[in-house]
Amino acid sequence: MAEGSIVAGVLAPHPPHLVYASNPPQNEPKAECGWEVLRWGYERCSKDILAQKPDVFLVHSPHWMTVIGHHFLGLPHFKGLSVDPIFPNLFRYHYELNVDVDLSLMIAEEAKDLGLTTRIMRNPDFRIDYGTITTCHLMNAAWDIPIVSISSNNSPYYFSNEVGQQQMAVLGEATRRAVEKSGKRAVLLASNSMSHRHFVTEPEIPEDMSHEHVYHHGQYLWDMELLKLMKAGKAREMLDILPEFIEMTVAEVKAGALTWMLHALGVPDYPAEVYAYGTVIGTGNAVVAWHHEQNRQEVAAHG
């Protein structure tokens, strides 16, 4: 069997507003429009990623938070209704998805070997969190590629940013080892927003874009600093300042998805492609891809 590989990693945020605004048949509430820059950036990113023919999407979501260990979906099929607890008026999504259970178990096994606590979720009635659903929908609305869904262990909140990010780095290493052994072509999805201060009053029409804007200049500057490092191929430097970024912007990357993904990619030193940046209820969101396989091919061809 040929060695598996990580084709790409994507910072793939999950504001349910983006699904709401695109009116897929699975979502009950209907919108007129909204958040076009982010949605169209997502569309271009999805097109580029799907063109690389991945066998599986691996998604790490902050809205599946687990207290003891890192959990993995362990049944081949899940079906249900995912409702955003804060925005039930925007997101009531009927999902049906397939899981690559073999790869889930392989990652859990590698993680255990590296000292992490793991659990497999085998409750057929388990309700998949809206972060996972939103990110996967925006990346592949056809849902015709199986996923591996990984929980966010609570360690960054129970202990510290440093301890939490360290655990996510180990989980990233375990993920890479498992993907290589699996023989599969995997795309990693870090389901995280960036700066996370938000409005507290929703406009009467949620998609009224005259209400949507950067909410806090300092937080916007932090987002720009991180994006500058991503574009410059400086993931290591970005990881170094992540604990400070998290403190200054109450960032959702605290839950670990971005750190997990960058470590699975071996902490890339090549430029990432930024497809879009925009706010949703004032939070900073960017769609960013590290085209890992393309980069390796370019290095092999040109040194």
Report d(CA 256, CA 171) in Å as an integer: 10
Q: Nearer Cβ to ligand 2X7, position 16 or 164?
A: 16
Q: How far apart are CA 5 and CA 263, in angstroms?
A: 14
When the beta carbons of 131 and 146 are compared against ligand 2X7, the nearer one is: 131
Helix (H/G/I), strand (E/B), else coil: 11: strand
Least Å from the CB of residue 214 to ligand 2X7:
14
- The whole-angstrom separation of Cα 27 and Cα 207 is 15
Question: Which residue, 14 or 291, is less far from ligand 2X7 as judged by CB?
Answer: 14
Q: Tokens 């029409």 correspond to what residue? A: 205
| Contact of 170 with 118, CB cutoff 8 Å | no
Nearer to ligand 2X7, 238 or 280 (CB): 280
Give 14 or 70: the residue with its C-beta nearer to ligand 2X7: 14
Shortest gap between Cβ of 197 and ligand 2X7 (angstroms)?
11
Shorter beta-carbon distance to ligand 2X7: residue 19 or 188:
19
Q: Please work out, in degrees rounded to the nearest 5, the angle formed at the alpha carbon of residue 171 by the alpha carbons of 166 and 176.
A: 125
The token pair at 262 is 């960058």
Q: Which tokens in the block code for residue 177?
A: 């080892």
Task: Name the minimum Å distance from CB 29 to ligand 2X7.
Answer: 14
The least distance separating ligand 2X7 from the CB of residue 177, rounded to whole angstroms, comes to: 29
Which residue in the shown chain puts its C-beta closest to ligand 2X7? 15
Alpha carbon of residue 32 to chain centroid? 26
Separation CA 221–CA 211 (nearest Å): 20
Binding site for ligand 2X7 (CB under 6 A): 14-16, 193, 252, 280-281, 283
Shortest Å, Cβ 156 to ligand 2X7:
16
Residue with smaller CB distance to ligand 2X7, 173 or 252: 252
Contact residues for 72 (Cβ-Cβ < 8 A; gap 6+): 104, 105, 107, 108, 118, 119, 120, 121, 148, 149, 150, 151
Question: Residue 152 CB, nearest distance to ligand 2X7 (Å)?
Answer: 12
Least Å distance, CB 118 to ligand 2X7, is 25
Q: Which residue has the tokens 């592949």?
A: 140
Handedness of CA 92, 94, 99, 105 (dihedral sign): positive
